Amino acid sequence: MIKSYKFKRHLANGFIYLFLIVMGIIWVSPFVYLLMHSFNGDVGGVGYQYLIPRKWSFQNYIDLFSGVGGNASLNYPRWFLNTFIVACFSCVISTISVLMVSYAFSRLRFKSRKKFINVGMILGMFPGFMTMIAIYYLLKAMGLTKTLVALVICYSAGAGLGFQISKGFFDTIPRALDEAATIDGATKNQIFWKIILPMSKPIVVYTVLTSFIGPWTDFILAKIIMGDNRDGYTVAIGLQLMTDATFKTQYYRQFLAGSVVVAIPITLLFLKMQKYYVEGVTAGGVKG
Amino acid sequence: MTYVEYRQLNPFQRFAFNFKKFISNVPHAVANFFKAIGRGIVKFFVGIGKGFYNYGTTFVKGDWATKLSYLIFGVGDFSKGKYYKGILFFLVEVLYILYMVFFGWTYLKDFTTLGTIPKHTEPDGIFEKIVYGDNSMLILLYSVLTIVITIVVFAIYIVNTKDAYKMQLLRAEGKKPTSLKTDIKDFMDGKYHITLMSFPVLMIGIFNILPLIFMILIAFTSYDYQHMPPGTLFTWVGLDNFASLFDVVNNSTRARTFIELTEWTLVWAVIATFSNYILGMIFALMINKKGIRLKALWRTLFVITIAVPQFVSLLLMNQMLQSNGAINILLSYITGQNVEIQFFNASPLLARVTVCVVNCWVGIPYTILSMSGILMNIPEDLYESARIDGAGPVKTFTKITLPYMVFVTTPQLITQFVGNINNFNVIYLLSNGAPTTHKFYQAGYTDLLVTWLFKLTMDKQDYNLAAAIGILVFIVCATLSLIIFNNSKSMKDEEAFS
Amino acid sequence: MKKILAILLAGMMTTAALTGCAGSGGSTADKGNSNGETKTSESTGKNGVVDVADFGDEDNITLKVWAPDAAVKITKQQCEAFKELYPDKKIEITIVAQGEDTAATQMMNDPDASADVFGFCSDQLNKLVNAGVIAKCAYADQVTAANTEESLNAGIIDNKLYCYPETTNGYILVYDKRVVSDDQAKTFEGVLKACKDAGKQFIMDAGNGFYSCIFTFTGGVKLDGLEGEDNDIQKFTDYDEDTAVKTLAAFGKLFKDYKGTFTSLDVANISSGFSSGKCGAGIDGTWNAVVNEKALGDNLGVAKLPTINIDGKDVTSISMFGYKSLGVNGSSKFPRSSQILAYYLSGEECQRQRATEIGWGPTNSTVNGEDVVTQNDMLTAINEQSKNAVAQVNMSSTFWDPMKNLGNKIIAEEFKPDDTDAIKKLLDSTIANIRDE
């Protein structure tokens, strides 16, 4: 009896392992393909006829960073640097904004707080790029178009609207802590910085992470803001430009290499921070 | 059911009960939602009326300084010794007047017509001389800016009059106004929310609300590819753009496109949400099953799709699904024949199925992540008591795990549904709407309303139509979300941990 | 040598203009115009050089030029030469890389932030004129005299010339000489048979209106300009429905007969197919000349499009043929200088230089008759094709998607070459949709 139960369980687990292995392969294989072909040293571009490259070389990466075999206007190292700078600045501003707003919504009680929360949610529901033309002209009026500053502003301006998850997290911190601190004479400001923030490592890391990744992946707003200024491009629009009809034939392999170069740091960062991500998401959502 | 009865239920019955209650509450929630809107409107007008009443009575009761602050900002505060506030108020007024005289009014005066003289050229020998005229776009944009600023200044004005009266009362009581230092201290404590919120709110105001108002207004103009300022002007057209989207009677291309794309968008949102949800749940259950090893490895394998930027993974997928891409090559290897399936360019059905399948590849990992967190959070004592009651693994699953997960993740499900209605990346990068058809106006079979909106904006410069679609998409999403969120536990039980 | 000559000429003209200008300060523009036509008519027409008086009172000039990546370097050189032509004027020119296909969209998004002189594809002209962001061509007479009629037609709307033709932009047949002989390359049947025998593909992007329009154009359904209130409805007049249907059927049949050989793929696959040995021939754009040559070297053959056999007769294939032109931004801060620069860059000398150095087919009639074109297989083939082509101009924006759809339908599994009614219906609906009815 016990034996057959065990056998059944082993059988079930075996099936699960099989399933997970097959699915794991399906999930990962596109990236393996990407990685392999970024090292493809064979001639030929887009419609390559072999699944596994016949010749291996670093040439695509060398070309990508030295700009050899191509145009000065496709300057990948520059794009990378731009994105990094924008990501750093907007990450700092966004994180601070998000934490401030969600702290205020979660811990402070003030008039029309609920209204603010509702308005915040409503604003988040308009299709984002509906407003891009207007944003462009606003930035133009400020003389900021085609600059990295404009990108930093765009990526961090609306950050405050993404308060839900961190608000959810702050809600879970017992209120007794605040009360005790207030009795000890701490101001709200001190409570925020000295008590709540140190306790909120997961959500801080989560917010930093998401706002840092944002600029690496946006390819719509940045393109409109940068216009013809290819030196100001970010990695995402730069890589998209490489898949443009004019460049695709010559730059497809470099596009693959460039994708790998962006994907690797972000992936490593993400995997490292995965724990915080899960904690952040579940803390904000689980409470339900 | 009374509270006592409720307490007597065993834990999983309680969950079943709560779940049932949630579902049966939905119609009620819808009704409440509309009631709330109605109440809001009433409140708004009552508020305005009250405001006017206060405004009048304060003036009547005010002393000379209070009365004067109705004309000159800050006099009330200044005369009572609160200098910094008085000066700030006064500065606001001066700046506002300067703004209006030198900038605001020049645009606002044309708000009703949106300009009359377009930029044109006059012959100048063989050359042309440019004669600058109006620019509808800038008129509209800066008018909106001016209106928003005016509202803000008006609010400051009201605060100023109230403040003046408050100061007057304070003096009558023989008290001294608070010093700057105390006020700053107060901003770090009692009014800390103002300190925290003002910067984000300012940014959101400028870069979200202002453009949004502008684009909403665009939906009522003729701003399209034939009316591009400064060369040509556009003007107000009322509801024409919405009418053209609903012009089913004449079977216009735009109306047909709108209706069919709306259908597909909803079908897509349902399929995408539930396929990810259900399959993701199955994956998560498998990975988190007791006795399965290497949990971290499995999770990592799937999570890579989240970590890699979507424009990389989806553009890659797009290339792999081309008729000469990796998938077809692989199929050719397997079958030994030359396989060239046109995933995106041939049949609409195949393209739609492909998009949905690839979306699973992208979306399931998100579900796995959040579900894993939730599964670990299910209180162990639930299972314990179930086991004591003699429930088998199947029963524990259907009676505890499933209801718990469904119940806990329902708000997330809605967020995902709304997210899928607006799922721009997957469609734009993967199929870009293909296969195209002549039946649709600037759209293909797999286009969602949002990608259509984008194409209209970027490829066709039909800003007005795009704005109208944006508004309609918003109405659907906002209604859905507000109903759910305002009735979900997380909003009601905000203070649960307090 | 020629450069020096140009500079000398310009120097002479400058002095002439200065002396001529000294007396009358007023109507300089008219004077410049008459100068250009009478005194220095010869040099003006040829080299794109004008009297310095044409600048009017513009000085301290800063201009931005958009050129596609392939032409950035050469445009830079040409702009330097341009500056040397007018030593009295302080001119600064920046060249910015911008694809010609997206130039119009960029222009329309924000004309103020766009280039003063920009290269664009002729089919976008309509859009630019409609939106009022492009200025009229100031040197219309000289440009008209110097360039081919087809290229000029591509720049005219309502009898007004809007742009300076720069180069041709079309597609031709490219083939691997080891697979397809020059003789076989003359007919579709020949090319396809050769490819089939060799087990290689013939690639044409039928799912793209730019190429699939061959199907209808060859059948006589051509574009006849625009009509309608807003001038955005495509005219189709004067075509024989029977011929059109027969042609569509013939192409569809060809595709069926040579299934597996006749493949519809993005043109980027041609060069990669050449290098991997999977592709034998294809219909490819002239802009891919460099990569194709890299892949095949001396084995690369080029020719005008092959003929197709319809009812036993070899019918010439008619293609879409575009032109790339230079336009002047209607919001330019230096409208005169921009016109003068555009005129120079589209002039004979610059066209010759581009034909020699980067293989751009000229539109200038003089250059077209010179060795640089006649001795070059590629440019000759382009020129021949341009004679059997419909100019990519005056096109409604609704053209591409229905045409793409038509192409996809013809190569689809379900297409039946014998079902005349269905083909007729397809043709009718395509035209109706292009006309947005």
Looking at the complex, does the CB of residue C26 fall below 8 Å from at least one CB of chain B? Answer: no
The verdict on B208 and B266 lying in the same domain is: no
Distance, CA of B455 to CA of B466 (rounded, Å): 9
A20 burial via Cβ count (<10 Å: 0-12, 13-18, 19+): buried
> How many Cβ contacts (< 8 angstroms) between chains A and C?
83
Answer for the pair B311, A240: CB distance below 8 angstroms, yes or no: yes
Asked if the Cβ–Cβ distance from A30 to B316 is below 8 Å, we say yes
Distance, CA of C269 to CA of B326 (rounded, Å): 14
pTM: 0.83
Looking at the complex, does the CB of residue B417 fall below 8 Å from at least one CB of chain A? Answer: no
The nearest CA of chain A is from the CA of B437 a distance in Å of 22
Q: What DSSP character marks residue A192? A: I
Distance, CA of B446 to CA of B423 (rounded, Å): 12
Asked if the model's pLDDT at residue C35 lies above 80, the reply is no
Cis? peptide before A77, omega within 30° of 0 = no
Answer for the pair A248, C268: CB distance below 8 angstroms, yes or no: yes
Kindly state the average pLDDT of the residues C79-99.
91
* C contact residues 275-304, partner B, Cβ 8 Å cutoff: none
Q: Which of A156, A160, A148 lies closest to A86, judged by CA?
A: A148
Helices (H) and strands (E) in chain B, counts: 24, 2
Asked if the model's pLDDT at residue C26 lies above 80, the reply is no
DSSP string, B255-320: HHHHHHHHHHHHHHHHHHHHHHHHHHHHHHHHHHSTT---HHHHHHHHHHHHHS-HHHHHHHHHHH
Distance, CA of A166 to CA of A169 (rounded, Å): 5
Q: What is the predicted pLDDT for the residue at C259?
A: 84
Asked if the model's pLDDT at residue B14 lies above 70, the reply is no
Pairing, β C156-157 against β C160-161: antiparallel
Asked if the model's pLDDT at residue C25 lies above 50, the reply is no
Instruction: Establish how many alpha carbons lie within 13 A of residue B402's alpha carbon, considering only the half-sphere containing its beta carbon.
Output: 10
Q: What is the predicted pLDDT for the residue at C37?
A: 39
Amino acid identity of residue C135, one-letter, is A
Q: Which residues of B touch A271 (CB under 8 A)?
A: 300, 303-304, 307
Q: What is the predicted pLDDT for the residue at C9?
A: 45
Kindly state the average pLDDT of the residues B327-340.
84
| Torsion from C-alpha of B373, B379, B384, B390, nearest 10 degrees | -70
Q: Which of B14, B135, B46, B30 lies closest to B399, judged by CA?
A: B14
Distance, CA of B415 to CA of B421 (rounded, Å): 10
Kindly state the average pLDDT of the residues B119-139.
84
Q: Which of C106, B331, C356 lies closest to A228, judged by CA?
A: C106
Listed range (A62-76, B233-247, B306-320, B359-373) with the worst mean pLDDT: A62-76
The neighbours of chain A, by the rule of 3 or more Cβ pairs under 8 Å, are B, C
Q: Which residues of A touch B149 (CB under 8 A)?
A: none
Residue B236 β-bridge partners: B221
Q: What is the predicted pLDDT for the residue at A85?
A: 95
Helices (H) and strands (E) in chain C, counts: 20, 17
Asked if the model's pLDDT at residue C18 lies above 70, the reply is no
Indicate the helix (H) or strand (E) that contains C218: helix C209-218
Asked if the Cβ–Cβ distance from A243 to B315 is below 8 Å, we say yes
Asked if the Cβ–Cβ distance from B377 to A30 is below 8 Å, we say no
Answer for the pair A248, C288: CB distance below 8 angstroms, yes or no: no
Both tokens of residue A51? 């699944």
Contacting residues for C260 by C-beta, under 8 A, at least 6 apart: B338, C196
**Domain final residue, candidates B238, B271, B286:** B238
Mean pLDDT of all residues belonging to chain C = 83
Q: pLDDT-derived band of residue C233, with 50, 70 and 90 as boundaries?
A: confident
Both tokens of residue A83? 């994105």
Asked if the Cβ–Cβ distance from A46 to C109 is below 8 Å, we say no
Asked if the Cβ–Cβ distance from A156 to B333 is below 8 Å, we say no
C333-366: pLDDT as tens digits: 899 999 999 999 999 999 999 988 888 889 999 9
Instruction: Establish how many alpha carbons lie within 13 A of residue A286's alpha carbon, considering only the half-sphere containing its beta carbon.
Output: 19
Q: Which residues of C touch B323 (CB under 8 A)?
A: 263-265
Q: What is the predicted pLDDT for the residue at B12?
A: 63
ipTM confidence: 0.86
The neighbours of chain B, by the rule of 3 or more Cβ pairs under 8 Å, are A, C
Both tokens of residue A20? 């997970």
CATH of domain C171-321+396-434: 3.40.190.10
Listed range (B257-271, B346-360, C278-292) with the worst mean pLDDT: C278-292
Interface test with C, best of B119, B126, B349 (most C CBs within 10 A): B126
Tell me what percent of the residues of chain B surpass a pLDDT of 90: 29
Both tokens of residue B367? 């579900």
Q: What is the predicted pLDDT for the residue at B450?
A: 93
Distance, CA of B425 to CA of B442 (rounded, Å): 18
The CATH number of residue B401's host domain is 1.10.3720.10
Provide φ and ψ at B446, rounded to 5°. Answer: -95, 5
Residues of chain C with CATH 3.40.190.10: 2-18+28-169+323-378, 171-321+396-434
Q: What is the predicted pLDDT for the residue at C24?
A: 34
Helix B253-288, helix A2-38: angle, nearest 10:
130
CA A229 to chain centre: 24
Number of domains in chain B: 3
Question: Which residue is listed with tokens 């009362």?
Answer: B169
The verdict on B127 and B16 lying in the same domain is: no
Q: Where do the DSSP E strands lie in C122-184?
A: 156-157, 160-161, 164-169, 171-176
Looking at the complex, does the CB of residue C232 fall below 8 Å from at least one CB of chain B? Answer: yes
Which CATH number is correct for C2-18+28-169+323-378, 1.10.10.10, 3.40.1110.10, 3.40.1180.10, 3.40.190.10? 3.40.190.10
Distance, CA of B467 to CA of B456 (rounded, Å): 10
The verdict on B4 and B105 lying in the same domain is: no
The verdict on B38 and B74 lying in the same domain is: no
Residue B336 falls in which region: left (phi positive, over 0), alpha (psi -120 to 50) or beta: left
Indicate the helix (H) or strand (E) that contains A106: helix A76-107
Mean pLDDT of all residues belonging to chain B = 85
Helix B192-204, helix B180-187: angle, nearest 10:
70
Distance, CA of C173 to CA of C181 (rounded, Å): 12
Kindly state the average pLDDT of the residues B133-144.
90
Q: What is the predicted pLDDT for the residue at B144?
A: 93
Comparing alpha-carbon positions, the chain B residue that sits nearest to C129 is: B231
Instruction: Establish how many alpha carbons lie within 13 A of residue B450's alpha carbon, considering only the half-sphere containing its beta carbon.
Output: 27
Contacting residues for A255 by C-beta, under 8 A, at least 6 apart: A239, A242, A243, A248
Asked if the model's pLDDT at residue C149 lies above 70, the reply is yes
Pairing, β C279-285 against β C164-169: unpaired
For residue B55, tell me if it sits in a domain: no
Distance, CA of B145 to CA of B163 (rounded, Å): 27
Amino acid identity of residue C297, one-letter, is G
The verdict on B10 and B90 lying in the same domain is: no
Looking at the complex, does the CB of residue B117 fall below 8 Å from at least one CB of chain C? Answer: no
Q: Which of C147, C142, C120, C143 lies closest to C131, judged by CA?
A: C120
Q: Which residues of B touch A23 (CB under 8 A)?
A: 283, 302
Distance, CA of B188 to CA of B200 (rounded, Å): 17
What is the domain extent for residue B7? 1-49
For residue B186, tell me if it sits in a domain: yes
Q: What DSSP character marks residue B209? A: I
Q: Which residues of C touch A247 (CB under 8 A)?
A: 69
Comparing alpha-carbon positions, the chain B residue that sits nearest to C134 is: B231
The residue ranking higher by pLDDT, A71 or C16, is: A71
Kindly state the average pLDDT of the residues A80-104.
93
B475-498: pLDDT as tens digits: 888 877 777 666 655 445 444 433
Q: Which residues of A touch B453 (CB under 8 A)?
A: 127, 129-130
Answer for the pair B211, B453: CB distance below 8 angstroms, yes or no: no
DSSP string, C75-116: HHHHHHHHHHH-TTS-EEEEEEE--HHHHHHHHHH-GGGS-S
The verdict on B355 and B451 lying in the same domain is: yes
Q: Which of B430, B365, B375, B425 lies closest to B400, judged by CA?
A: B375
Residue among B138, B200, B409 whose CB faces A100 most closely: B200
Q: Which of B264, B298, B308, B278 lies closest to B450, judged by CA?
A: B264
> How many Cβ contacts (< 8 angstroms) between chains B and C?
95
Asked if the Cβ–Cβ distance from A135 to B326 is below 8 Å, we say no
For residue B243, tell me if it sits in a domain: no
Q: Which of A105, A108, A198, A214 lies closest to A160, judged by CA?
A: A105
Residue among C111, C130, C266 whose CB faces B226 most closely: C130
Q: What DSSP character marks residue A43? A: S
Distance, CA of A101 to CA of B273 (rounded, Å): 29
Amino acid identity of residue B121, one-letter, is T
Asked if the Cβ–Cβ distance from C136 to B346 is below 8 Å, we say no
